[in-house]
A and B are shown apart, each in its own frame.
Chain A
Amino acid sequence: MNLFRTIFLAFTIVAVLGVSYVAYRGAAPDTSGRQVSLRTGSGGNSGFFGFGRVK
C-alpha cells in the first residue's frame, strides 16, 4: 500500500471513530455550550434527518 493510501485510510478510520465517539457523547449544535435548547415535534433526538423517537 502506497503512502497516499496509508494516509487516506488512517484519516478515514480516525475520522469515523473520532466522530463516532463525539456522537456517542451526544454532541450536537444544540447540546454544546451553556444554552438550554428547545425541541418540538414527535420527540427523540431530532438528528440531521429528524430521525429518533420518544422512548
Chain B
Amino acid sequence: MSLAAATTSVNCTSCGAGLDVLGGGRVMVHICPYCGAELDVQDNYAVIAKFDGLKRPDSPFRIGMSGKIRGAEYTVIGMLEFRERYRGQTWTWIDHQLYSPTHGYAWLTIEDGHLVFTRRYRRPVWLSEGQVERADHPPTITIDGERYRYYETSTGEITFAEGEFTWAPKIGDKTTTVTVLADEAMLGFSETNQEREVYRSELVDSAEVSASFGVSTPPVPQGVHPMTPYQSGGNDRFMLITSLIALVACIVLGFFFDNRTGTVVGDPIVLETRQIPAAVPITIPNVTGPVRLTFDGTPYVTPTLANPPSIPVYARASIDLAHPDGRSVSEAPRRAVVTVGGQRQGAAAGSRNHTELVFPSAMAGDYQLNLRWSGQGPTSANTLAGFEGEITSASQLHFAEGNVTIRTYAGISSGYWLYRLAIVFVILAIIALLGKWNFNRKRWSGSDWTSED
C-alpha cells in the first residue's frame, strides 16, 4: 500500500485544511473530511453545501490508499455511506470511489465483509422499477453471454460523504437501484432525480485486495454473497457421475444375477395326476445359496373321451411340506398350491400352473411332499370324486391325464440387494445435485421477488 504518489493539494476554502487532490479531471466536487464542506472543483473550490455533524463510518479503506484490483492501480478518492430502511429493517453499506489514471472511475463496496468492485456498464440495456412491478415473472436480461435474473430493488439514502466525486452527492439524496444477478456478476440500474446509470459489479478477493491496499485488518466475508461463485472443487460433479455409473452397474448386475436362476439338480420328478394324493420324498442338497423347488402342472390336456368339456377345466393340488417321519415342517408355507389344466389349447401356461418353494441353505435335508386335491372347476365339469374312482367322462380325463413336474434348482443368484444399493446411489446423486441447489438457494435468499399467485 501507499498513499498515492505525486499528489497535489489545495486548501479547503471553508476551514483552510489541506486537501489532497487525487481524483483526475472528471471530479466535480470535493467534500472536506474536516469540516464537511462540499466544494465545487469546477469553480475554484467554492463552498456549495456543508454537512455538519456527520459520523465517519468504520472502514478499513481510507482516502488516499492505493492498490491493485483486476491488475489495475486504483486510488481511493471518496467515501459514501448508504442506508436503506425497509419494513423495519435497516441495511448500511460503504461505497469507496476509486480512480485509476488508466482505467477511470470505479467503486469498491463492503457488503457483509465481502468486497464488491463496480464499474460503469456502457451497453444499451435498462430495467426500470416499473418494468419489475408489472412483470409476472422475474425479469431476465441476457447480454455479453451472461443471463441475469431480477434480484432486488433497493433505495439507498446517503448518510455520509467525504472526498472527491464525479457528481455532487448530498446527504439525504436517494438512489433507487434495480439489481439483476448472474452467476458471478450483478447489473445495477440506478436512477436518481437527475440521471440513470448502469453498473456492473463483481466480487473481488477480500484478502488479496485488502493486502494490496495495505489494509491491516481486512473485512471478513460473512455468509454467502449473491455473487459468490460456486466452489465445490468438482466434488459434487464427481459424486454425481460416480453415483450414476454405480447406479447403472447395480441395475445391470441386478439383471444379470436375477437371470441366474440356477441349474437343475438331479432328475425331475413327474407325478401323474392319477397318483394324487401322493407323498413324494425329496432331498434339498446342502449347497451354497438357496435351493428352489418348482412345481409345474400340465397346462392343457387334449380330451380323448366322449363328451369333452366346452371350456378348459382345472384342478388344484395343495402342497404340504413334512419331515420324513410325517411331522409337518413349521417353517414351510401353508397355502402352496399348483393347478393342473385350466389353460386353452396352444396357450402358454399361466402363472397358476407354476409354484415354487425356496429353501435357504440352512434348510438343507430330507423332506416329504404331500400333494392332495384341494379344488377344481368349473363346478359343472367334473367332481373331485371322479379322480378317486372310475373315469367316466372326458371332462375328468382332461386333467386326469396331466401331471405335476417337480424340479430342484441350485446355483441361484438374486439381484435384490443390488437393486436396493441402486436406490442408495440414486439418493447420493440427488444429494450431489442438491449441493448446488442449496448454494443457489442461499445466493437468492436475499431476493425481494415474490410471486403473486
Contacts and interface: CB of A to CB of B under 8 A. Distances in A.
Interface of A: 2, 4-5, 8-9, 12, 15-16, 19-20, 22-45, 47-49, 51-55
A26 B290 contact: yes
The DSSP consensus for interface residues of chain B is mixed
Nearest to B250: A16
Nearest to B289: A26
A44 B258 contact: yes
B172 interface: no
A45 B414 CA distance: 7
A31 B351 CA distance: 21
B321 interface: yes
Name the residue among B249, B262, B354, B358 with the largest chain A CB count within 10 angstroms.
Answer: B358
Contact of A23 (B254, B294, B321, B357): B254
B232 to A, nearest CB: 10
Given A38-B333, A38-B336, A42-B351, A51 B255 contact: yes
A55 B250 CA distance: 24
A27 B356 contact: no
- Top 6 closest A-B pairs, CB basis? A48-B419, A47-B258, A26-B289, A38-B333, A28-B416, A31-B290
A16 B418 CA distance: 8
B354 A26 contact: no
A41 B354 contact: yes
27 contacts: A16-B249, A16-B250, A19-B250, A22-B417, A23-B414, A25-B288, A26-B414, A27-B289, A34-B362, A36-B333, A36-B360, A36-B363, A38-B355, A40-B351, A42-B351, A42-B354, A44-B259, A44-B261, A45-B412, A47-B257, A47-B258, A47-B414, A51-B259, A51-B415, A52-B258, A53-B259, A54-B296
Contacts of B243: 12
A16 B246 contact: yes
The DSSP consensus for interface residues of chain A is loop
A27 B8 CA distance: 86
A48 B415 contact: yes
Contacts of A24: 257, 260, 413
B438 interface: no
Contacts of B409: 55
Contact of B258 (A8, A29, A34, A45): A45
A31 B331 contact: no
Interface string B232-256: 0101001100110010011001110
Contacts of B418: 19-20, 23
Interface string B416-451: 111111001100000000000000000000000000
Given A23-B257, A53-B261, A39 B246 contact: no
A51 B258 contact: yes
A22 B425 CA distance: 17
A17 B123 CA distance: 58
Contact of A43 (B332, B356, B420): B356
Contacts of B260: 24, 45
A23 B413 contact: yes
A6 B427 CA distance: 19
A43 to B, nearest CB: 5
Contacts of B311: none
A20 B332 CA distance: 28
A36 B355 contact: no
